[in-house]
Structure 1
Amino acid sequence: MTIVNELFDLTGEVALVTGASKGLGKMFANTLAKAGAKVCLFSFEKDDLLRTEQEMKEAGYDCMSFLGDITHEDEVQQCVDEIIARYGKLDILVNNAGIGRCNKTPDNTSLQEWERVIDINVNGSFICAKIAGKEMLKRKKGKIINMSSISGKVINKGVHGGSYDVSKAAIDGLTKALASEWAQYNINVNAIAPGYFMTDPNKEFFKADPGFYDLAKDLIPAGHMAEPEELAGTLLYLASKASAYVHGTIIQVDGGYMVW
């Protein structure tokens, strides 16, 4: 076995990917499966979820799906219970599910709009990490990968700062808090902070405001928006043995956006 295979091979590992029915989550699930992992797809979008599960099974991957909401603790617990019943363990959690930006000024944002973003992005991620973490603690082994954003560190030019930015800053804090608690038990908790990627929500955002697309692209030293697949390497690194001594780190994948 080559050193590359030894470090990045996930054969026999069991992963849970939230928000896995489409977009980044679907790409993450396929990336882990290609590396050898058995994958559970978690989403509240039934049609897309079943379609993705079928596509992965047709590709020869060992996977299962679970229809649920990450903000409902009982549903997340049921999902993890089913993973344990089927596979006997849970090695990797990709805390990908979330909601996008409510692009309003703070004075025009209702408390309900604010709470919805915080509840899904922060509370939902905590619920998943808590329940997955309990299983990982039993075996003293695990990888938790949270989804942050460059918006957790800066307010992006051209959009209104608000609940989304606060939620991603909270994910950075959550990542460090969990890492400080669980690193001693061989559980790696880290996060990915993407810049501008051509996900479906961003495509819709740019389509509605072409001027903002040009503004954002001009702020990226690499000179282009990224495709979802350009996060695959970072995801695999954090899910594998290659990151065995990495704890509480937020990795920016932004084309250099943050250097200016």
Structure 2
Amino acid sequence: MMNFFDLKGEVAFVTGASKGLGKMFANTLAGAGAKVCLLSFEEEDLLRTEREMKDAGYDVMSCYADITDEQEVEKAVAACVERYGTIDILVNNAGIGRLNKAPQDTTLREWQKVIDINVNGSFICAKAAGKVMLEKQKGKIINMSSISGKVINKGVHGGSYDVSKQAVDGLTRALATEWAKYNINVNAIAPGYFMTDPNKEFFAADPGFYDLALSLIPAGHMAQPEDLAGTLLYLASHASDYVHGTIIQVDGGYMAW
């Protein structure tokens, strides 16, 4: 039977790849056979991750860039293409977390920063990598949304983060409809509560919120970053060739209630 999840010969470009979910995504794709370009603006962590992946035997390179700077992103994409010849997979993972402030207490600058990184940054990266994919009419783009793209989570302030993730959902569908005819799949992953470092800090600062969030998850436990690996491989591989504009929830059943 065909191995749908074999990525040998594919080139992946992963943003926010220096640590956390991005690092896990990069290792998952490399483990499936892909060559990987790591992108981050956290240079020390980026170089450490590149070194660790090379030590593991993976074919990997790194690029330092701010995803809100179109010229920096285009330069990074060009460097990846120069090294590997193309980009087959974009994982639009880089982003900024929740600013847990009431709307009336949020400054315009704070609001704009979240929108700029999560929405404009995702568009800039999709546009730059998309141009490469359009040339050869082949590609997979995986955006990072959230269950906050569909609901305002109970126990936290709704605001710029939720709006940004709803915009990512819209961006996903817009690009999917534009590029599906060119054999480019654009989809998104919408995680629920995962035990990433930012969330661990968030929960530690508010144990009551941890208990509330846990009570809202039918599965009865928080997810670990590796719980997203299968969904990532599905969307990055031939298994999802007829999937366009879909946002896949990975939330332990949170949205079922």
Q: What TM-score, normalized to structure 2?
A: 0.99
Counterpart code for 2:170: G
The whole-number CA distance in structure 2 between the counterparts of 1:8 and 1:100 is 30
What does residue 53 of structure 2 align with? 56
After TM superposition, give the deviation of residue 76 of structure 1 in Å: 0.4
Structure 2: stretches of 5+ with no match in the other structure: none
How far 1:70 sits from its partner (Å)?
0.2
Distance 2:128 2:46 in 1: 22
Q: How far off is 1:158 after superposition?
A: 0.3
Q: Distance in 1 between matches of 2:219 and 2:123?
A: 33
Partner of 2:240: 243
Query: Which of 247, 253, 256 is the matching residue for 1:256?
Result: 253
Deviations 1:40-68 (A, max 9, x none): 00000011100000000000000000011
Q: For 1:159, which of 156, 161, 166 is the aligned residue?
A: 156
Question: Matched residues, percent identical?
Answer: 79
Aligned AA (2:185): N
Determine the C-alpha separation between the residues in 2 that align with 1:68 and 1:252: 29
Other structure's SS at 1:15 match:
strand
| Of 195, 219, 223, the match for 2:220 | 223
Partner Cα distance (1:165, 1:85) in 2: 37
- In the comparison of the two structures, how many residue pairs are matched? 257
Moved beyond 3 Å, runs of 4+? none
Counterpart AA for 1:188 = N
Q: How does 1:104-115 map to 2 (within 5 A)?
A: 104-115=101-112
Structure 2 match to 1:70: 67
SS in 2 for 1:8: coil
**Counterpart code for 2:212:** L
Partner Cα separation in structure 1 for residue 10 and residue 29 of structure 2? 9
Q: Per the alignment, in what secondary structure is the counterpart of residue 93 of structure 1? A: strand
Q: Does 2:99 align with 1:102?
A: yes
Other structure's SS at 2:14 match: strand
Shift of 1:179: 0.3
TM-score by length of 1: 0.98
The CA deviation at 1:181 is: 0.2
Aligned to 2:157, what secondary structure does the other structure show? coil
Q: CA offsets, 1:211-243, max 9 Å, x none?
A: 100000010000000000000000000000000
Q: Distance in 2 between matches of 1:167 and 1:147?
A: 11
Q: Map of 1:141-152 to 2, 5 A cutoff? A: 141-152=138-149
SS in 2 for 1:64: strand
Please tell me the residue identity of whatever aligns with 1:120.
I
1:205 counterpart residue number = 202
Gaps of 5+ in 1: none
> Could you tell me how far apart the structure 1 residues matched to 2:45 and 2:148 are?
27
